[in-house]
Structure formats: structure tokens, C-alpha cells
């Protein structure tokens, strides 16, 4: 559940949004409070309603992580539950995913801190050379949706790619699928990726869009060119052990497609939910499915849309109900997150938070396992699948091996 944080990160004071430290950020806790106060009634109404995730232990995990009693989330846990703390020095997508897959990030990412003229001249020159243009547009920090509105017409007129970044370690390129060309955009990103990865920039992201005359829409053909993790991850452990692995959403991109048997993409989270429900019924015994639902983060967290985030959470709670109903004896399902993105917070960046770890295993008794590390998630999955774990984590889940 991309960005579904629950507050309480002990080092939140080291991470900032527009100069404000992330101390006190709490994505789900603050959304629940806004809903209870009637400040998130657009397209929904009343208290935050997450009966299925709360029954697993979401409210209890929030209390454990941050000491907050989230309104409407007070169910007695019926699942396995706890809260995880990240040690990697970042609050970005690769850091969170790699660490929950057993590989904490051992370096500091490179960022582009200047709000304007963000990129060094030699990098701009390389982008122009690969794109075969005389310049780039943007070269700044920007919202992906705002910058195509501002520069889309100029991009069509000049043919220059729109290059921008954010508080994350990213280099993003927006281009029109028809006027610039999707294949050309992907080739540009792929060509720049080795240089940027050598600088320890985590991702080069292709952001294609369509439209005309100032009305532009991003398409689902986004592609992330991410650095490879510095060591084998949970996906590699399973794949190398002969297990089938399924990557839903942008998981394949995040892990540079290493350890992935089958990739399942879609136009949005609704399509990804269909993949997840189908795999709950049809995935091979002993297989691993890893799914990322990104719209909490991309559509609502970064845009600071509290009501939209609440609607997405309530929709996903229904997906979770349908998914858990399809689980078979011997299955283990874990709901977690990679970082926070508190829509009530200042700025537009991710927020440094602990994350929930909610597990459903048919036939298992309810149990809280307390505060754990992100890497313990990978160790627990490896323990359940009975495959060797290579990372630093410890399993919270002891399965019946009789």
C-alpha cells in the first residue's frame, strides 16, 4: 500500500518537507482524524471506514507506532500485526521496497536540491545529445501533473523533453506519446540511466502524456529505470529457489526485473486489484506474489488530497476483504507500506514514518509481534515459503512445519 504510513519514525526529525521536519507526520492517523472531524467528506462521508484492515490490526499498529488512537480504527486485532521501522537513509520508493525485501540501502542517495536549474550542465548536454534536441524544458522541481500543464504546449512546439525532479532521488522526463514518441522517450530514459545510477540517483522515470492545446493527461505507460539493488532480494531468493514469482504494478521496475517470473501491469490500481484477486485463486503453490498499489501516493499523497486518500483507503479495504476471502490453507498475505505521504503535511514530498505490517494466515491465531525492522518482512516471507533468507531480518512468523 504505497505510502500508507502510520507515524512514529524515530528519526523523522532528519527528514524535511519544505523546510519542516517530518516529526509528527502520520498518514493514516491524520486522515482518520480529518474524516472524524468532517474535513474529508468529498466523495465520501463520516469516519474512516476500514473494517477489514482494522480487524487485522491497523488501529493497533498505529497506536504501537505513534501512540495515536486513530478515530474509527479501534477493533480488537484478529490477525498478525505490528509496525516496522526503516533504517535506510531515505524515504523513497526503492529504499522502502528494497529494505522490506531484505536489502537495506547501504549508501546515501544523490538528490538535486536546487529548485531551478536543478541539473548540472553536463547532464543536460547528455540528455540533449540522446534526445537529438537543442535543449530541455523544465530543469526544476515540479509536480508531474502541473509541469505538463505549464510546458506541454511548448514541448509540442519545440520538441524538447520536459525534465524535472523532486525531493526524491529521481530524474523524470515527460514527453508527448505522439509528438515526441513513446519509444523515443523510453530510449532517452534508458540512455541516461547508467549516468544517473552512477551518481546514485535512484530512478529515471519516463512520464508519457497525451492531449492538445493545454489539456494534457498522463498515460499508464510510465516506466521506471531503477538502480539494481546492491544484493539479492526476496524476489531473487524465491526465484533462485525455483519458485514462481509474480510482480504486480511497478514492482518489476523497482527491482530492475530481477527475480521476476511474471509481470502484471494495468492502467490503474483497479486493474492491479483484478490481477491480485486472480492470483489469490490461481497462483502456483509455493509461489511469491509482490504487489504495489501506487495511487494512494501518486494521486492523493503528493497532491495533499485528504478526501481522495480516504476514498482510496476505503476502496482498498474492500479489495482486501475480497482477497482474503480467496486465501487458501497454507497461504500468507502481508499488507504493508514503503514510507508515508501524509496528505495533511506541508510540502508535497513523502514523509518519514513507520509502516503497518498486517498479516493474514488462515488457521493462525491472532498475535501482535510488536516493533520490527523492514527487513523482518522478507525474513518472515522466506520462513513461510521455506526458502533460505540472505538478509539481516528475523522472522516474526513461525509456521507449523509438521
Q: Is residue 115, in this structure, part of any structural domain at all?
A: no
Q: Are 55 and 35 in contact (CB under 8 A)?
A: no
pLDDT in tens, 216-274: 999 999 999 999 999 999 999 999 999 999 999 999 999 999 999 999 999 999 999 99
> Does one domain contain both 130 and 101?
no
Q: Is residue 402, in this structure, part of any structural domain at all?
A: no
Check pLDDT > 50 for residue 340: yes
Note the pLDDT of residue 364: 81
Partners of 216 in the β-ladder? 211
CA distance 121 to 164: 14
pLDDT in tens, 195-224: 999 999 999 999 999 999 999 999 999 999
The pLDDT confidence band at residue 18, using thresholds 50, 70 and 90, is confident
Q: Is residue 126, in this structure, part of any structural domain at all?
A: yes
> Does one domain contain both 256 and 379?
yes
The pLDDT confidence band at residue 33, using thresholds 50, 70 and 90, is very high
Q: Which residue has the cell 508531474?
A: 144
Percentage, residues of the chain above pLDDT 90: 95
pLDDT in tens, 170-185: 999 999 999 999 999 9
Q: Is residue 358, in this structure, part of any structural domain at all?
A: yes
Of 160, 256, 155, the closest CA to residue 204 belongs to 256
> Does one domain contain both 89 and 203?
no
* End-of-domain residue from the set 200, 226, 252: 226
The pLDDT confidence band at residue 399, using thresholds 50, 70 and 90, is low
Average pLDDT, the chain: 96
If you average pLDDT over residues 71-84, what whole number do you get?
97
Q: Domain range for residue 101?
A: 7-106+230-385
CA distances from 235 to 2, 153, 156 (A): 18, 42, 40
Residues annotated within a binding site: 2, 297, 302, 338-339, 350
Percentage, residues of the chain above pLDDT 70: 99
Note the pLDDT of residue 398: 59
Model pTM score = 0.92
> Does one domain contain both 236 and 324?
yes
C-alpha cell at 34: 480529518
> Does one domain contain both 211 and 352?
no
CA angle 205, 201, 343 (to 5 degrees): 65
Residue 185 CB partners (closer than 8 Å, separation 6+): 161, 173, 175, 177, 206, 208
C-alpha cell at 381: 516471507
> Does one domain contain both 167 and 276?
no
* End-of-domain residue from the set 226, 242, 271: 226
Q: Is residue 113, in this structure, part of any structural domain at all?
A: no
Angle between helices 121-131 and 182-198 (to 10 degrees): 150
> Does one domain contain both 98 and 143?
no
> Does one domain contain both 70 and 149?
no
Q: Which residue has the cell 474509527?
A: 72
Q: Is residue 392, in this structure, part of any structural domain at all?
A: no
> Does one domain contain both 87 and 129?
no
Q: Are 273 and 248 in contact (CB under 8 A)?
A: no
CATH of the domain at 34: 3.40.720.10
Of 165, 151, 163, the closest CA to residue 124 belongs to 163
CA angle 190, 196, 133 (to 5 degrees): 60
Is the Cα dihedral 385, 387, 390, 393 positive or negative? positive
CATH of the domain at 171: 3.30.70.1250
> Does one domain contain both 213 and 235?
no
Note the pLDDT of residue 402: 35
* End-of-domain residue from the set 226, 244, 275: 226
Q: Which residue has the cell 495515536?
A: 68
> Does one domain contain both 271 and 369?
yes
C-alpha cell at 378: 522478507
C-alpha cell at 166: 523532486
Q: Are 7 and 29 in contact (CB under 8 A)?
A: yes
Check pLDDT > 60 for residue 401: no
Q: Is residue 401, in this structure, part of any structural domain at all?
A: no
> Does one domain contain both 84 and 177?
no
pLDDT in tens, 274-331: 999 999 999 999 999 999 999 999 999 999 999 999 999 999 999 999 999 999 999 9
Q: How many structural domains does the chain have?
A: 2
Partners of 17 in the β-ladder? 20
Q: Is residue 394, in this structure, part of any structural domain at all?
A: no
Residues annotated within a binding site for Mn(2+): 2, 297, 302, 338-339, 350
Amino acid at each position: 500500500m504505497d505510502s500508507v504510513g502510520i507515524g512514529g519514525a524515530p528519526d523523522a526529525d532528519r527528514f524535511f518537507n519544505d523546510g519542516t521536519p517530518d516529526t509528527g507526520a502520520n498518514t493514516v492517523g491524520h486522515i482518520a482524524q480529518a474524516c472524524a472531524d468532517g474535513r474529508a467528506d468529498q466523495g465520501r462521508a463520516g469516519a474512516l471506514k476500514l473494517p477489514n484492515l482494522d480487524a487485522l490490526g491497523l488501529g493497533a499498529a498505529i497506536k504501537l507506532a505513534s501512540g495515536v488512537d486513530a478515530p474509527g480504527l479501534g477493533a480488537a486485532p484478529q490477525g498478525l500485526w505490528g509496525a516496522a521501522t526503516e533504517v535506510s537513509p531515505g524515504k523513497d520508493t526503492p529504499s522502502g521496497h528494497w529494505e522490506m525485501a531484505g536489502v537495506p540501502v547501504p549508501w546515501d542517495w544523490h538528490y538535486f536540491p536546487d529548485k531551478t536549474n536543478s541539473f548540472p550542465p553536463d547532464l543536460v548536454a547528455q540528455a540533449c545529445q540522446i534526445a537529438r534536441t537543442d535543449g530541455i524544458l523544465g530543469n526544476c522541481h515540479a509536480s508531474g501533473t502541473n509541469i505538463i500543464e505549464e510546458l506541454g504546449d511548448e514541448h509540442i512546439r519545440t520538441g524538447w523533453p520536459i525534465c524535472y525532479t523532486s525531493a526524491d532521488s529521481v530524474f523524470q522526463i515527460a514527453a508527448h506519446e505522439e509528438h515526441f514518441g513513446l519509444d523515443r522517450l523510453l530510449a532517452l530514459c534508458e540512455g541516461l540511466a547508467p549516468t544517473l545510477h552512477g551518481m546514485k540517483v535512484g530512478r529515471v522515470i519516463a512520464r508519457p502524456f497525451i492531449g492538445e492545446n493545454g489539456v494534457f493527461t498522463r498515460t499508464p505507460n510510465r516506466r521506471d529505470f531503477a538502480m539494481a539493488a546492491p544484493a539479492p532480494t526476496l524476489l531473487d531468493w524465491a526465484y533462485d529457489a525455483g519458485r514462481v514469482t509474480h510482480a504486480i504494478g511497478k514492482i518489476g521496475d523497482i527491482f530492475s526485473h530481477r527475480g521476476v517470473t511474471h509481470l502484471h501491469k494495468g492502467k490503474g490500481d483497479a486493474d492491479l486489484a483484478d490481477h491480485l484477486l486472480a492470483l489469490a485463486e490461481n497462483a502456483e503453490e509455493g509461489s511469491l506474489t509482490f504487489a504495489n498499489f501506487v495511487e494512494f501516493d501518486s494521486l492523493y499523497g503528493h497532491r495533499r488530497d485528504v478526501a481522495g486518500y480516504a476514498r482510496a483507503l476505503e476502496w482498498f479495504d474492500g479489495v482486501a476483504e475480497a482477497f482474503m476471502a480467496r486465501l487458501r490453507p497454507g497461504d500468507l498475505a502481508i499488507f504493508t507500506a514503503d514510507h508515508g505521504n501524509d496528505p495533511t503535511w506541508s510540502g508535497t514530498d513523502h514523509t518519514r514514518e513507520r509502516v503497518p505490517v498486517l498479516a493474514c494466515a488462515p488457521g493462525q491465531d491472532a498475535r501482535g509481534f510488536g516493533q520490527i525492522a523492514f527487513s523482518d518482512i522478507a525474513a518472515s516471507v522466506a520462513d513461510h515459503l521455506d526458502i533460505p533468507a540472505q538478509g539481516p531480518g528475523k522472522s516474526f512468523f513461525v509456521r507449523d512445519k509438521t
